[in-house]
Amino acid sequence: MSLLENVEGPGDLRDLSAEECRELAAEIRSFLVSSVSRTGGHLGPNLGVVELTIAMHRIFESPRDTFVFDTGHQSYVHKLLTGRKDFSALRRREGLSGYPSRAESEHDVVENSHASTSLSWADGIAKANLLAGRTDRHVVAVIGDGALTGGMAWEALNNIAASDDERLVIVVNDNGRSYAPTIGGLAHHLDTLRTTRGYEEFLRWGKRTLTRSGVPGRMAYDALHALKKGVKDALAPQGLFEDLGLKYVGPVDGHDTESLERALAAAKAYGGPVLVHVMTEKGRGYIPAEQDIADRFHAVGQIHPETGLPVAPSRFGWTSVFADEIVRIGESRPDVVGITAAMLAPVGLAPFAERFPDRTFDVGIAEQHAVTAAAGMAFAGLHPVVALYATFLNRAFDQVLMDVALHRAGVTFVLDRAGITGDDGASHNGMWDLAMLRIVPGLRLAAPRDEATMRAALRDAVAVDDAPTVVRYPKGALGDPLPAVGTLDDVDVLAEHPGEGPRVLLVGIGAMVRTALAAGAELAALGVPSTVLAPTWVLPVPSGVVKAAGEHDLVVTLEDGLASGGIGAAIAEACARDGVGTTVRTVGLPTSFLDHASRDQVVEAHRMSAGDVVADVVRALGR
């Protein structure tokens, strides 16, 4: 049996020799490449933390000692070492989550997929341990250097540093990257730490020289103190952490298990908060990932393990449309600037950055700063386009409301991966934005259905200079064009199915337009007349939708956001305000956290398919 096959839990690691630890690391990397290439998942981050995770489990005793990973996509090795070796359904329904999951194991505490939160979690757990008298327990927070660009991490550091007796070890996994190279002042600081090795040696040399010179003790002490002070900022920028009151250990080679164990053991024995600076290489041990400069292996679909190439080439997708159109807009609009939060390539701003480097701002994992900075740019005459995953805008709602909307700032938000995303689970489904943004005064929101409406919506959005605008689009490939057959007060009509009897109005929102069309066709086959509307701009509710509702006997709205408080609810309220008494039935997602599954499985589970819509309509009409 291989070493990995013999590891059923962390206790099995502690009797391994140093050589066996190296063999185990190699086996884990081979397993990860083989498994993740079949299922897809976060490959590069996990290849980089193999030795680190082994060392953590050898020095600390999970679950008595609490491990928190930030972000949790670097927890695959932790899963393996805590007995979870069936990766055959990784990120699929009823398989392993792509993040830590309390439902899977007592070794998992935080489903940490929204970055920069681990230190606050760790601080809270460590404080609770102290109050409960659990002084024999430690909390270990593994935070990627990219996550340290988030303001919440620094809020936590400020509080941790004031707690001298917390048994808390902060492991900074410093690979110089998050999704992409880490940016900002912190990155430059860590770069200096990585390349500055001579501080302690320089101080030892100074101490020896002073001792040999015969300088009296007190004078020698004062001279040494002055020497430390004089060289600290130049040769020891770890002072940034030490000045906060944190004990600093490192830098440590993150691929040398023995060095890691010594550093972690020292941190464990200290009895207070300690920061261990670990240098790792993202994609370590897998040549295609090591040679990658575009971070394509941060997260992969199914790939050929030998080459790293996709098994099936990706179809032209929604993100590519945005990437192309924003460059075109930038050519004619010098006031348009791009802002993102450590996801330049994933959200499609990389081509804009290449064309307009001075007009592109990657702020790190700091969505709140991104949004408020955008408000400032708008005040000063620019039109910022803030591109984020839909789920990550949740983190900056207050800034959207109070900094952008309150000040009537012309800022455009482009939300990638809106609606059901599926595989990454509860935290990544972009299902909250419609209900959340609906309550923002003055905000206008578009949910395009195809490439043409996407390009038009983006151009319309950046033309607004006195209010926030939002363009949301789903994850994945584009479908075929969905042309209108007519309009009603500027709302696109996509299908008319005439007939006798009660008439049904189907209103499709964004990705759900195709479902509305399919449901309309099925109803027509049953002899039920219907109209299919596809408004691109859904907030505020278009007058054409309300007018059409008054001309039908039943309205069914379809969206891949929350049914409660979403666009369907807004349409129902608008109809009630205007005295339209037609019943409005909303089809959407429940107000609950959804387990990881494919989009089709989520749609099926929550009765959002065309067949489900038709069955509900038939029942409602008493047919």
| Among 51, 166, 261, 367, the one annotated catalytic | 367
The per-type count for the chain, helices as H runs and strands as E runs, is 25, 18
Instruction: Dump the DSSP string for 490-542.
Output: TEEEEEEE--SS--EEEEE-GGGHHHHHHHHHHHHHTT--EEEE--SEEESPP
Whether the CB-CB separation of 571 and 535 falls below 8 Å is answered with no
91 flagged as catalytic: no
- Closest of 418, 411, 413 to residue 432, by C-alpha: 418
Strands 360-362 and 336-340: parallel
Find the distance separating the first CA and the last CA of the chain, reported in whole Å.
64
Find out whether 116 is annotated in a ligand binding site.
Answer: no
Residues 6+ apart with CB under 8 A from 389: 343, 346, 347, 415, 416, 417, 428, 430
Alpha carbons 386 and 366: distance in angstroms, whole number: 12
Find out whether 113 is annotated in a ligand binding site.
Answer: yes
Helix axes 18-39, 50-59, angle to 10 degrees: 130
Find out whether 270 is annotated in a ligand binding site.
Answer: no
Find out whether 199 is annotated in a ligand binding site.
Answer: no
**What does the block give as tokens for 521?**
């066709």
Count Cβ atoms below 10 Å from residue 269 Cβ, excluding itself: 8
**What does the block give as tokens for 43?**
């490959």
Find out whether 46 is annotated in a ligand binding site.
Answer: no
Find out whether 75 is annotated in a ligand binding site.
Answer: no
List the alpha helices (DSSP H) in 90-216: 118-131, 151-160, 185-195, 199-212
At 515, give phi and psi (nearest 5°). Answer: -65, -40
Whether the CB-CB separation of 465 and 383 falls below 8 Å is answered with yes
214: left (phi over 0), alpha (psi -120 to 50) or beta: left
Instruction: Dump the DSSP string for 350-401.
Output: HHHHHH-GGGEEE--S-HHHHHHHHHHHHHTT-EEEEEEEHHHHGGGHHIII
| Among 58, 177, 395, 438, the one annotated catalytic | 395
- Closest of 311, 585, 565 to residue 435, by C-alpha: 565
547 flagged as catalytic: no
Instruction: Say which residue the tokens 């299919």 belong to.
Output: 532
367 flagged as catalytic: yes
Find out whether 145 is annotated in a ligand binding site.
Answer: yes
Find out whether 147 is annotated in a ligand binding site.
Answer: yes
| Among 58, 91, 282, 503, the one annotated catalytic | 282
CA angle 435, 487, 491 (to 5 degrees): 15
Sequence ranges of the binding site: 73, 113-115, 145-147, 175, 286, 367
Sequence ranges of the binding site for thiamine diphosphate: 73, 113-115, 146-147, 175, 286, 367
Sequence ranges of the binding site for Mg(2+): 145, 175
Active site residues per annotation:
282, 367, 395
